[in-house]
Amino acid sequence: MSETLDLIKMTSDAASEFEIALGSVRANPTPDAVEALRLLFIGRKGKVTLLMEGLRHASKEQRPIAGKTINTLKQQIEEAMSSLKEASANWALDEKLKQTPLDISLPIDHMAPQGSLHPVSLMRRELLREFRRLGFSVFDGPEADFDFYNFSALNIPEYHPARDMQDTFYLREQPNLLLRTHTSNIQIHCMLNERPPLRIVAPGRVFRCDSDPTHTPMFHQIEAFVVDKNISFGHMKGVIDSFMKAIFGSSMKTRLRPSFFPFVEPGAEMDLQCVQCSGKGCRLCKNTGWLEVGGCGMIHPNVFESVDYDTDTWSGFAFGFGIDRMAMLKYKLTDLRPMFEGSYSYLGQFSRYT
């Protein structure tokens, strides 16, 4: 009986002790202080744990009364500890924030420099936007391709002198495989996979063994082609002219000059009025007032035959030009090579166009 009374008295003492300790830990709930409080009362050797163990010595009749008192205290302590843990997590977060202060009054210059899109990406994005507006869909093709798609199917048979017009990188392992010299290989892939009518634009990287201020071994081309019934040279001229006006402004003039490309007949070179002197004549245009930007023409019947299109039903045109060259003209750049050297100061200039 007396042991039971002792237990109840000790439980009451432990409850008061816990109240006092809780008050001081609550004022400054560091994780260490919270853990120490827990160990002191409900840890393996804590005051309340020892009281529970003391129950063994209580008489059978009194054990339930003492047990209930101790258990009630244990539950109260557990509840208090759980809310204290939350307070402790908040305290830890506050401490962390105090260590790494954010100064929102700092000028914006102190922040990391902002990146910008590459001029080729900017130009490509703008070109595709205009092509989509004219109803063209984008089609992609492989950069390493078979001779058939890059040459033979485009009316450039083996030993044809036209192959010398483009210095080709062949892959050593597979002599039949090469890095495409133009995006026209996409024309063949597309025509073999889709049925006309087609209105396709195909942008991509192309490769030629060449390097000087206006040529790099890798560059970007974009090619557009249309296949439908009754397509004429006039349609092509109209599309090219309205396209260039959309990119360079409504006063831009274009012209076509007869030229030879094996995959078109008739073929032509596309010229833009000089972007620097507006046609008056300057060093950039070699005093002609015009800049050559690409090639175009009516798709050759032999090309249609290689993809099994009926030339009595279908006709079409294609035109292509360099995206990098277009970016040079649009952003008034004189040398093509720095575009691919990755210099931050050079590429950073284009952030205002992004």
State the residues that interact with Zn ion by CB under 5 A: 274, 276-277, 282, 284-285
Q: Write the burial class of residue 327 (CB in 10 Å: 0-12 exposed, 13-18 middle, 19+ buried).
A: buried
Nearer to Zn ion, 210 or 335 (CB): 335
Nearer to Zn ion, 14 or 274 (CB): 274
DSSP string, 248-271: H-TT--EEEEEE--TTEEEEEEEE
Q: Angle at Cα 197 formed by Cα 191 and Cα 199, nearest 5°?
A: 75
What is the longest distance spanned by two Cα atoms in the chain?
120
Nearer to Zn ion, 211 or 288 (CB): 288
**Structure-block tokens of residue 112:** 């990391």
Which residues, in sequence order, are CB contacts of 70 under 8 Å at separation 6+? 7, 11, 48, 51, 52, 55
Nearer to Zn ion, 162 or 284 (CB): 284
Cα distances (angstroms) measured from residue 96 to each of 36, 47, 82, 159: 22, 33, 22, 74
**Structure-block tokens of residue 159:** 């030993």
CB of 279 to Zn ion, least distance (A): 7
Nearer to Zn ion, 58 or 329 (CB): 329
CB of 329 to Zn ion, least distance (A): 11
CB of 282 to Zn ion, least distance (A): 3
Nearer to Zn ion, 259 or 276 (CB): 276
Question: Which of 265, 303, 297 is CA-nearest to residue 150?
Answer: 303
Q: What whole-number distance in Å separates Cα of residue 231 and Cα of residue 242?
A: 17
CB of 326 to Zn ion, least distance (A): 16
CB of 124 to Zn ion, least distance (A): 25
CB of 289 to Zn ion, least distance (A): 6
DSSP string, 279-311: TS--TTTTTSSEEEEEEEEEEPHHHHHHTT--T
Q: Which contiguous run of DSSP H or E holds residue 15?
A: helix 2-27
CB of 252 to Zn ion, least distance (A): 13
Nearer to Zn ion, 282 or 307 (CB): 282
Residue, CB closest to Zn ion: 274
